[in-house]
């Protein structure tokens, strides 16, 4: 049985994430301790109690990675399996790298915490955001962005008829009526202040590369790049691809289409977002691991 491992990105966070794992697994509790020590923050409070930090990108990113990492490790602990690739959506590519053995947990937590801070810094003098567009072909959205002369770009190719664009918030608002006039079924501005996967994050590319050079191991299992929709497995390749992932669109649907024949089904660790998107891309099933009950179901497949 061939598995495809999936890891969700930012936006999948919620209060209570990982709590069932924490309460029922010694391994999960150990991983919480490692993460908390890595960046000197109490992840139990961050993830289990109402707070504002959970939606701040420098904390959201390590929280999601920790949740996904625990889900994966508990699966690995209880199931003998092999896989040809792991694939993450945006931030999820870093969770995929952890699963592939590219980093230790503490280093992965530190890395995405710093990545979040670098992304915030890039927007200290401007307000960015992202916007979901439903019901239009990719080429139409691309043309609208290009012809607008505004600071807006395609950012996430999620599925046919679902694309996310990123840019300056006011420019995105100006584009709403244009996209609806072109036939978009829905245009929804997201509650974000950072525009991911567009040229506005160029200032974060070099410092992220320096961090990656410090934390990455030389070789690891196959991870599918958001930038190329192709697998890589060396530090050299990662140092070329992961920094520019900040400024390039996420080729998620292209990645699934490229690798669906190498998996009998997919498992999403720490979320259900990609499971929903996958229904529009592939006939292969996606099973989520979000708590002990869903873990048990997937183990027994």
Q: Would you say 247 and 199 are in contact if contact means Cβ atoms under 8 Å apart?
A: yes
| Measured distance CA(32)–CA(199) in Å, rounded | 34
Q: Would you say 136 and 181 are in contact if contact means Cβ atoms under 8 Å apart?
A: no
Return the bridge partners of 4, or none: 85, 266
Laid out side by side, the sheet with 265-269 consists of: 231-234, 219-224, 83-88, 3-7, 265-269, 286-289
DSSP E strand boundaries for the chain: 3-7, 83-88, 128-134, 152-159, 162-168, 186-189, 219-224, 231-234, 265-269, 286-289
| Measured distance CA(196)–CA(50) in Å, rounded | 25
Q: Would you say 165 and 195 are in contact if contact means Cβ atoms under 8 Å apart?
A: no
| Measured distance CA(71)–CA(290) in Å, rounded | 7
Known active-site residue 25 = no
Q: Would you say 252 and 277 are in contact if contact means Cβ atoms under 8 Å apart?
A: yes
Q: Which of 36, 197, 225, 255 is catalytic?
A: 197
| Measured distance CA(7)–CA(67) in Å, rounded | 10
| Measured distance CA(121)–CA(143) in Å, rounded | 30
| Of residues 132, 137, 158, the one with CA closest to residue 253 | 158
Known active-site residue 90 = yes
Q: Where do we find the tokens 């003998």?
A: 80
The secondary structure of residue 159, as a DSSP letter, is E
Q: Which of 90, 99, 129, 196 is catalytic?
A: 90
Q: Would you say 116 and 55 are in contact if contact means Cβ atoms under 8 Å apart?
A: no
Q: Which residues are catalytic?
A: 90, 197
């Amino acid at each position: 049985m061939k598995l495809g491992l999936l890891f969700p990105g930012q936006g999948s966070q919620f209060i209570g994430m990982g709590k069932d794992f924490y309460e029922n697994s010694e391994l999960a509790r150990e991983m919480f301790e490692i993460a908390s020590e890595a960046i000197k923050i109490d992840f139990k409070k961050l993830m289990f109690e109402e707070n504002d930090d959970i939606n701040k990108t420098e904390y959201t990113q390590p929280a999601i990675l920790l949740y996904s990492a625990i889900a994966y490790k508990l699966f690995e602990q209880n199931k003998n399996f092999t896989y040809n690739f792991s694939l993450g959506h945006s931030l999820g590519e870093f969770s995929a790298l952890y699963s592939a053995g590219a980093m230790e947990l503490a280093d992965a937590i530190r890395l995405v915490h710093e990545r979040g801070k670098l992304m915030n810094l890039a927007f200290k003098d401007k307000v960015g955001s992202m916007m979901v567009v439903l019901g239009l072909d990719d080429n139409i959205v691309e043309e609208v962005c290009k012809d607008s002369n505004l600071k807006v770009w395609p950012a996430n190719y999620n599925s046919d008829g679902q694309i996310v664009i990123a840019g300056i918030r006011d420019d995105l608002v100006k584009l709403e009526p244009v996209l609806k006039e072109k036939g978009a079924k829905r245009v929804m501005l997201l509650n974000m202040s950072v525009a991911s996967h567009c040229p506005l994050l160029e200032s974060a590319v070099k410092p992220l590369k320096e961090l990656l050079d410090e934390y990455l191991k030389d070789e690891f299992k196959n991870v599918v790049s958001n930038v190329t929709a192709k697998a890589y497995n060396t530090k050299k390749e990662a140092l070329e691809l992961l920094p520019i992932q900040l400024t390039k669109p996420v080729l998620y649907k292209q990645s699934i289409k490229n690798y669906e024949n190498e998996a009998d089904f997919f498992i999403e660790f720490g979320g259900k977002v990609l499971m929903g998107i996958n229904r529009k891309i592939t006939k292969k099933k996606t099973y989520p691991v979000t708590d002990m009950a869903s873990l048990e179901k997937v183990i027994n497949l």
